């Protein structure tokens, strides 16, 4: 089978021919139809992600496809079932083995290409806004990086939850994607001052930040008393330092959200969240945005789109 693989040295990932794996106990063999790309894939290549596997390994965190074989002990799935899986790695290949407990059956309304980019982006935003920040109707939500893979879902989910959504992104095209996802107000990070614009809107109750760096600092200074700031990631490459005395004065809270971490300590929270999201999709309340669908031989090009922040929504590799 073909697989986009990282070898043991410092080489860039390459498309290699590898043996098709066999499922171990409690695993499934998946005939992979599509794999969603994530910023974390770039961090894995650099060895900077918190859950980077030991080399060699195949990239690709989230996939969708058809169950081709069952390992011993798997009784809740059948050969031929369409499922999505958050595997953490192994998705950029024609076949893969994954923990059966992580496989989520797909509704008839969802294509594999949509499903491959659905779990992490929508799951992160829903868990962050609902479970962590407890976003309430009528509150003002500021979404940084609002045209990216997770940012765009935060705009959409925040609007569904009844918030006034302010989307911050760079450039008219990216802001238009955020507006189409439901944003009430737009801030161009390339030409406008985030703090000034947010102050004019009365400040933020919740900040959703996958960017970090200077944008975090500006958003922090534009928060209302009792605001909650969600740190989702650091796409800017800069991890901000938080002044605890400012948290004290404004009674603010800064909280982290690592979606995959819930699999290890409270998987039921993640499972409930995904069930809600799949129900919303089946009811037509979510409109996933996939900006690029590329074949496996162009996986490196897809990752470069993320690196350059040239995509809106998700980049998906069709296997």
Binning pLDDT at 50, 70 and 90, where does residue 275 land?
A: confident
Across residues 87-96, what is the average pLDDT?
96
pLDDT digits (tens, 9 = 90+) for 182-213: 999 999 999 999 999 999 999 999 999 999 99
Across residues 66-82, what is the average pLDDT?
97
pLDDT digits (tens, 9 = 90+) for 134-166: 999 999 999 999 998 899 999 999 999 999 999
pLDDT for 251: 96
pLDDT for 98: 96
Across residues 289-311, what is the average pLDDT?
94
Does position 10 have pLDDT exceeding 80, yes or no?
Answer: no
- Burial class of 95 by CB neighbour count within 10 A (0 to 12, 13 to 18, 19+): buried
For residue 109 the two structure tokens come to 């309304």
Binning pLDDT at 50, 70 and 90, where does residue 264 land?
A: confident
pLDDT digits (tens, 9 = 90+) for 19-71: 999 999 999 999 999 999 999 999 999 988 888 899 999 999 999 999 999 99
**Whole-angstrom Cα distance, residue 200 to residue 96?**
51
The rounded mean pLDDT for the chain is 94
Does position 84 have pLDDT exceeding 80, yes or no?
Answer: yes
Q: Which residues pair with 83 in a beta bridge?
A: 65, 105
With a pLDDT cut of 90, the percent of the chain lying above it is 84
pLDDT for 231: 96
pLDDT for 313: 84
Does position 222 have pLDDT exceeding 80, yes or no?
Answer: yes
pLDDT for 29: 98
* pTM of the predicted model over 0.75: yes
pLDDT for 311: 87
Across residues 162-183, what is the average pLDDT?
96
Binning pLDDT at 50, 70 and 90, where does residue 276 land?
A: very high
**What domains can be seen in the chain, in order of their start residue?**
2-118+288-318 (3.90.180.10), 122-260 (3.40.50.720)
Calculate the CA 233 to chain-centre distance. Answer: 10
Across residues 269-283, what is the average pLDDT?
90
End-to-end CA distance of the chain: 11
**Whole-angstrom Cα distance, residue 231 to residue 100?**
30
**Whole-angstrom Cα distance, residue 135 to residue 126?**
10
């Amino acid at each position: 089978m073909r697989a986009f693989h990282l070898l043991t040295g410092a080489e860039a990932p390459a498309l290699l021919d590898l043996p098709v794996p066999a499922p171990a106990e409690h695993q499934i063999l998946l005939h992979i139809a599509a794999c969603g790309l994530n910023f974390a894939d770039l961090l894995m290549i650099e060895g900077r992600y918190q859950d980077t596997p030991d080399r060699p390994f195949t990239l690709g965190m989230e996939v969708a496809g058809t169950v081709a074989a069952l390992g011993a002990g798997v009784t809740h799935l059948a050969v031929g079932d369409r499922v999505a899986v958050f595997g953490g790695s192994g998705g950029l290949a024609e076949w893969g083995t994954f923990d059966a407990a992580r496989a989520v059956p797909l509704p008839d309304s969802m294509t594999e290409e949509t499903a491959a980019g659905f779990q992490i982006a929508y799951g992160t935003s829903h868990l962050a806004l609902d479970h962590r920040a407890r976003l309430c109707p009528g509150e003002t939500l500021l979404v940084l990086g609002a045209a990216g893979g997770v940012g765009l879902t935060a705009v959409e989910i925040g609007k569904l939850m009844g918030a006034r959504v302010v989307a911050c992104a760079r450039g008219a095209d990216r802001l238009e994607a955020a507006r189409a996802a439901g944003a009430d107000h737009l801030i161009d990070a390339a030409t406008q001052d985030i703090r000034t614009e947010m102050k004019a809107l009365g400040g933020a109750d919740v900040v959703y930040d996958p960017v970090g760096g200077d944008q975090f600092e500006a958003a922090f200074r534009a928060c209302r008393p009792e605001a909650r700031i969600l740190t989702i990631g650091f796409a800017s490459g800069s991890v901000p330092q938080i002044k605890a005395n400012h948290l004290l004065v404004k009674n603010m809270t800064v909280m982290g959200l690592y979606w995959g971490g819930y699999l290890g300590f409270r998987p039921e929270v993640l499972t409930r969240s995904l069930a809600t999201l799949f129900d919303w999709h089946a009811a037509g309340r979510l409109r996933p945005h996939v900006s690029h669908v590329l074949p496996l031989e162009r996986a490196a090009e897809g990752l470069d789109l993320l690196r350059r922040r040239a995509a809106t929504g998700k980049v998906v590799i069709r296997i």
